[in-house]
Structure 1
Amino acid sequence: MIHAADVREWRNENVVDPKGRRIGMLEAVYVDTATDEPAMATVRTGLPTRQRLVFVPLDEAVLGPGYVRVPYVKGKVRKAPAIGTDDILPADQEETIFHYYDLEYRTGLQGERRLARR
């Protein structure tokens, strides 16, 4: 698991799948608003003229020298819900990301968002 103190150190590092295949570059980390622990990352993928940010969970991520290894294969991550490189995550799309990875989604007690960008 990635600890909150490590987050800034790993931006712009390669994100790889379990076989070591490069998925893209870690762009930003989203924390769980209930725990303030890293929950999701956005990964910059695509061609230089058509890049987008795809979401991937960090719950079982492993940090290595110059990379972040996620437990999902490259093909699954590249097909994950995405936003544009200058966009923000709309609140109504959070649930879609969790369901894509077969993860439980719950809002806060007052209906607060589950993810916040750090």
Structure 2
Amino acid sequence: MFPAENLRDWRGHKVIDPDDDKIGELEAVYVDTGTDEPAFITVRVGFIGRHRLAFVPLAGATVKPDAVRVRYAKKLIGDAPAIDLDGELAAAEEPRVFAHYGLPYIPGAGGERRLARR
């Protein structure tokens, strides 16, 4: 996986799906609080005046010269849990983000959050 600091350099660059369809622009990197490794990104999606930030797992993602390619289809990402451009992910919503992609959600031993924006 890529170091979080390297991924932050990609903020504003396009994110594409496995078929090279543009999904949107990379907005932020979220790390797994248990490992401090990048786990999700938010991608700016939507139409003019109706943008939102969709959560996308980084597992299996690759970097191309001009884009970050994720392993999930544009349609699945379009239906993913999202936040407003100036919003924050509520702790209660974290399990839904993982479930949308069929990923297990296991909170920290003390019930702490799994994702933190970096």
- Name the TM-score, length of structure 2 as normaliser: 0.97
**Corresponding pairs, count:** 118
Residue identity opposite 2:93 in structure 1: Q
**Cα distance in structure 1, aligned partners of 2:8 and 2:43:** 14
* 1:1-118 aligned within 5 A: 1-118=1-118
- Contact 1:2 1:58 (C-alpha < 8 Å) held by counterparts: no
- Contact 2:16 2:67 (C-alpha < 8 Å) held by counterparts: yes
Superposition misfits of 4+ residues, deviation over 3 angstroms: none
Which ranges in structure 2 are unaligned for 5 or more consecutive residues?
none
**Cα distance in structure 2, aligned partners of 1:84 and 1:5:** 24
**Cα distance in structure 2, aligned partners of 1:97 and 1:75:** 15
**Cα distance in structure 2, aligned partners of 1:90 and 1:45:** 19
**Cα distance in structure 2, aligned partners of 1:86 and 1:41:** 15
Quote the offset at 1:9 in angstroms: 1.1
- Contact 1:2 1:61 (C-alpha < 8 Å) held by counterparts: no
Task: Name the Cα RMSD after superposition.
Answer: 0.8
Residue identity opposite 2:35 in structure 1: T
- Contact 1:14 1:67 (C-alpha < 8 Å) held by counterparts: yes
Residue identity opposite 2:105 in structure 1: Y
- Contact 2:38 2:58 (C-alpha < 8 Å) held by counterparts: yes
Q: 2:2 aligns to what SS in structure 1?
A: coil
Residue identity opposite 1:14 in structure 2: K
Quote the offset at 1:7 in angstroms: 1.9
Residue identity opposite 1:106 in structure 2: I
**Cα distance in structure 2, aligned partners of 1:56 and 1:22:** 14
